[in-house]
Amino acid sequence: MLNRRHLRVKVLQTLYAYHLSENKDVKDFEKKLLKSVDSVNEMYVWTLALLDEVSDYVLTDADERKNKFLPTQEDLDTDTKLSTNTFIESLRANADYRDAVKRYRVSWSFDPEIVRTIFAQLRNSNEYAAYLASTDRSIASEKDIIKFVFRRLILKIPAIEQAFEEKFLNWPVDKEVLQALVAKTFKNFSSENPAQNKLADLTPDWPEDRIFILDLFAHTVRHRDAHQKLIADKTNNWDAERIALLDTILMQMALTELMHFPSIPVKVTINEYIDISKVYSTAKSSTFINGVLDKILGELQAAGRIFKQGRGLVER
């Protein structure tokens, strides 16, 4: 699921786009921010639907084999067990899944080769042969072949990854989150009663997380000039144009959290933005950001401008 670090990255991406855009309508970018988060859920639903359609494709494959000019006995006796896989049947019975498929208008029929390619590799695998040979139809047992399809085929076949990259612009960033969401789904679907099986939550607490990202974006924009002055005072020996825009935004976001989010500990804020910079900015950014924020934090604390709720939240 999307944790606070992932959500901070979403805000970072939106702020970066805001800085580069001539459009400075905050509401427009707030909508884009929420859409970028929702796109992760959309990608999750498309992935579940792909598992669903691969399972259903066994029926298409069976018909094609039976209708060959000279079908073999094996072609005529194709096992279609996968079409009624217990995990997939439970997924199909899930109202939230069905509603999401409709809402996002999910259908992989736009590129039939995607499902065909996955099933072709599945059909020729030892894992599929073992699945067909098994008589255990419990959901715990039947999940294994679906896990194989996701982990060893969908995530590994280059053509499938390319399809996701083309459909979801943030695929390289969100792929890790998708894997966690699908893994959580496998864990959640453990009951033989479909009504008790739930989809994965996109975040631990979306109502609270929604407020967090919108406030972080809006406050960072609102206090940009004031925070930039604090940064400039500590980087006066640096050519402003040489400071990466991402580094500037990360420091502005950090100052926003330090000064306007009283429930987030100072240590958490500092460590989060240093770690994010290691992934998304330059090789030396983390050291630079750490040094600048350390100086600003000292002054802010001395001036009594850092207020945190709860014992021990100010210590770094």
SS3 of 244-288? CHHHHHHHHHHHHHHHHCCCCCHHHHHHHHHHHHHHHCCCCHHHH
DSSP at 201:
P
Categorize the per-residue pLDDT at 316 as very low, low, confident or very high, splitting at 50, 70 and 90.
very low
Domain ranges of the chain: 4-196, 223-302
Tens digit of each residue's pLDDT (9 = 90 or more) over 262-301:
999 999 999 999 999 999 998 899 999 999 999 999 999 9
Ranges 95-109, 177-191, 231-245: which has the least confidence = 231-245
Tens digit of each residue's pLDDT (9 = 90 or more) over 134-158:
999 999 999 999 999 999 999 999 9
> Per the CATH hierarchy, to which homologous superfamily does domain 223-302 belong?
NusB-like (1.10.940.10)
Tens digit of each residue's pLDDT (9 = 90 or more) over 31-66:
999 999 999 999 999 999 999 999 999 999 999 989
Residue 131, number of CB atoms within 10 A of its CB = 21
The pLDDT mean for the chain works out to 94
Q: What is the pTM of this model?
A: 0.92
How far, in Å, are 35, 132, 238, 290 from residue 241 at the CA level?
A: 31, 62, 8, 19
How far, in Å, are 146, 206, 268, 307, 316 from residue 298 at the CA level?
A: 53, 33, 16, 13, 10
Tens digit of each residue's pLDDT (9 = 90 or more) over 220-238:
999 999 999 999 999 887 6
The pLDDT value recorded for residue 77 is 83
Exposed/middle/buried for 206, CB within 10 Å: 0-12, 13-18, 19+? middle
**pLDDT of 203 higher than 90:** yes
The CA distance from 86 to 139, in Å, is 5
Tens digit of each residue's pLDDT (9 = 90 or more) over 6-38:
999 999 999 999 999 999 999 999 999 999 999
The pLDDT value recorded for residue 309 is 78
